[in-house]
Amino acid sequence: MGLIVQKYGGTSVKDAERVMNVANRVVETYDKGNSVVVVVSAQGDTTDELIEKAMEINPKASKREMDMLLSSGEQISVSLLAMAVEKLGKPVISLTGWQAGFKTDSHYSAARIHKIDKERLQSELDKNKIVIVAGFQGLNKYEDITTLGRGGSDTSAVALAAALHADLCEIYTDVDGVYTADPRIVKNAHKLDDISYDEMLELASLGANVLHNRSVEMAKKYHVKLAVKSSLNRNEGTYVKEVDQVEKMLVRGVTRDNDCARIALCGIEDTPGKAYQVFALLSKHGISVDLIIQSIGNGEKKDISFTITEGELDNTVKLLEENKSALKIDDIKVKKDVSKVSIVGAGMVNNAGVATTMFEALYNADINISMIATSEIKISVLVDQKDAERAVAAIHDKFML
Ligand code: ADP
Ligand code: ASP
Ligand code: MG
């Protein structure tokens, strides 16, 4: 008996039958004597459909209005789920993010949670109610609705678990847990029994969208016990834990991220301070850069290439074009159809052979690498997007079989 936060994603509540399935699972947990707080996402593809509706009217709609629109998807699911629980005869209440006390900053479409005012939540829990909270949304200081970024309901759930000191936060989705690769891409990927916060954070940040990366960051910070499970069966899921409690495997997962674009600045003056000037300009405009390479240069000219997310491409190119002559850049080249493919594992620290094995897998599959980045627990390479799924499968086969 304790306090359990459960989060159900879009596919888990996509239609009436699935909503009833979730209601039954929630009531089962409640009937065991637990206090239950449930976070739900918008049904099925609702969020994508709302974005399409907006694009039909104004592709340049302000982020404030986009958040107003997108938050409506979750409001539908919480009320439907509450009605389903009512039907099962249990006390229940649905709350929007703002009714549940979510206070965020004003970064529309990618807001961060500042705090959760718990009074309302606590008073409903004290009345023994099952509390159903809309994920992905909060309120900023202007009392405007904000959203937490795509996939953000996971973060809503972990934030609630942290604020309420829950005994467990369960993320229910359409796969059995965290796999060694996206099971939709790699058919022989296998489920991990457990994974460390750090490894999960890397996987999530590098494209394994089974968990929102900020939810993992928060779980680690507040020591939230986190489990990823399927809402469609009773299989054991994956537990996300402290590093010393998990099995140490060299490589735990392979991911790909298609949301990147490469910019090459060709023929920049080969003098001290050029890299600084370029990246200072980008960071001043809030553009975050990911992989970077610089050619050796010949004393006169050199090239610098880097990747950014596709959403930042237009702004970044515009900014660089405006500063092209000031920065003394000969040419700016853009490539959109690239993907970042990464391997993650806490066991790869001090293991020189890992990179070699990864590169060999790509060589055997005849896939060209255009950039490389490494850290203690990950190695990322940039490849053509058309090769990305094959790259994931080839690397997965090499390490996991
Ligand atoms: P939800 O709607 O429940 O939040 P998501 O679509 O956000 O579900 O996340 C679940 C999906 O994440 C899975 O269907 C799977 O295709 C994808 N995924 C990507 N990488 C992984 C991985 N390493 N392990 C498990 N699932 C993954
Ligand atoms: N509904 C939102 C999305 O599709 C949030 C979520 O599902 O976590 O991104
Ligand atoms: Mg998700």
173 Cα nearest atom in ligand 1: 3
- Span 94-144, pLDDT tens digits: 999 999 999 999 999 999 999 999 999 999 999 999 999 999 999 999 999
Ligand 2 neighbour 35 (Cβ under 6 A): no
- The listed CATH number (3.30.1460.30, 3.30.2130.10, 3.10.50.30, 3.90.550.10) that belongs to domain 254-398: 3.30.2130.10
Q: What is the pLDDT of residue 141?
A: 98
Each as own residue / partner, the long-range contacts of residues 23-27 (CB below 8 Å, 24 or more positions apart, any chain) are 23/81, 23/84, 23/85, 23/87, 23/88, 24/88, 25/172, 25/231, 26/81, 26/85, 26/130, 27/85, 27/88, 27/90, 27/130
Q: From 204, 207, 228, 231, select the one nearest 216 (Cα to Cα).
A: 204
Q: CATH assignment of 3-173?
A: 3.40.1160.10
Q: Which of 265, 315, 314 minimizes the C-alpha distance to 285? A: 315
Q: Pick the ligand that lies closest to the CA of residue 153.
A: 2
Q: Is the CB of 101 under 6 A from ligand 2?
A: no
Supply 28's token pair.
């089962």
pLDDT of residue 36: 98
Residue pLDDT, tens place only, 185-212? 999 999 999 999 999 999 999 999 999 9
Distance 256 CA to ligand 3 centre (A): 16
The yes-or-no verdict on residue 271 having pLDDT over 70 is yes
- Of 72, 40, 154, 62, the residue nearest 108 (C-alpha): 62
Determine the pLDDT at residue 232: 97
In the chain, where are the structural domains located?
3-173, 254-398
For a mutational test of ligand 1's pocket, the pick from 175, 201, 259, i.e. the residue with the most ligand atoms closer than 8 A to its C-beta, is: 175
Please give the distance, rounded to the nearest whole angstrom, from the Cα atom of residue 208 to the centre of ligand 1.
Answer: 7
Given phi > 0 = left and psi -120 to 50 = alpha, else beta, which region is 288? beta
Report yes or no: 277 and 380 within 8 Å, Cβ to Cβ: no
User: Stretch 145-165: mean pLDDT, rounded?
Assistant: 98
Cβ of 179 closer than 6 Å to ligand 1, yes or no, is yes
Using a pLDDT cut of 70, give the percent of the chain over it.
100
pLDDT band at 10, cuts 50/70/90? very high
Q: Which residue has the tokens 């050619």?
A: 295
Q: Are 304 and 265 in contact (CB under 8 A)?
A: yes
Q: What is the DSSP string of 300-369?
A: SEEEEEEEE-GGGHHHHHHHHHHTTTTTTEEEEEEEEEEEEEEEE-GGGTT-THHHHHHHHHHHHTT---
Average pLDDT value for residue range 310-325? 94
Mean model confidence pLDDT for the chain: 95
Residues 334-364 pLDDT 10s: 999 999 999 999 888 778 789 999 999 999 9
Strand partners, 332: 265
Q: Give, to the nearest 10 degrees, the angle between helix 46-57 and helix 63-87.
A: 150
pLDDT at 91 over 90: yes
Angstrom CA distances, 152 to 147, 158, 271, stand at 8, 10, 43
pLDDT surpassing 80 at residue 379? yes
Task: Output phi, psi for 174, to 5 deg.
Answer: -100, 10
Q: What is the C-alpha to C-alpha distance for residues 341 and 388, in angstroms, rounded to an integer?
A: 7
Neighbours of 109 (CB within 10 A): 17
Instruction: Return the number of other C-beta atoms located less than 10 Å from residue 24's C-beta.
Output: 13
User: Residue 37 has what pLDDT?
Assistant: 98
CA distances from 339 to 72, 104, 207, 307, 389 (A): 32, 32, 10, 10, 9
Q: Give me 353's structure tokens.
A: 């052979």
Q: Does residue 252 surpass a pLDDT of 90?
A: yes
pLDDT surpasses 90 at 74: yes
Q: Is the pTM of this model over 0.75?
A: yes
Nearest ligand 2 atom to alpha carbon 156: 8
Answer for the pair 307, 260: CB distance below 8 angstroms, yes or no.
Answer: yes
If you count them, how many residues does the chain have?
A: 401
| pLDDT recorded at residue 249 | 78
135 lines ligand 2 (CB under 6 A): yes
pLDDT at 45: 98
Q: Are 138 and 107 in contact (CB under 8 A)?
A: no
Residue 401 binned pLDDT confidence (cut-offs 50, 70, 90): low
**Structure-token match 């089962």, residue found:** 28
Does position 160 have pLDDT exceeding 90, yes or no?
Answer: yes
DSSP string for residues in 205-272:
HTT-TTS-HHHHHHHHHTT--EEEEESSS----EEEE-GGGS---S--EEEEEEEEEEEEEEEEE-ST
Assess contact for 35 and 2: CB atoms under 8 A: yes
Please tell me if the CB atom of residue 46 comes closer than 6 angstroms to any atom of ligand 1: no
pLDDT at position 299 over 90: no
What is the three-class DSSP state of 164?
A: coil
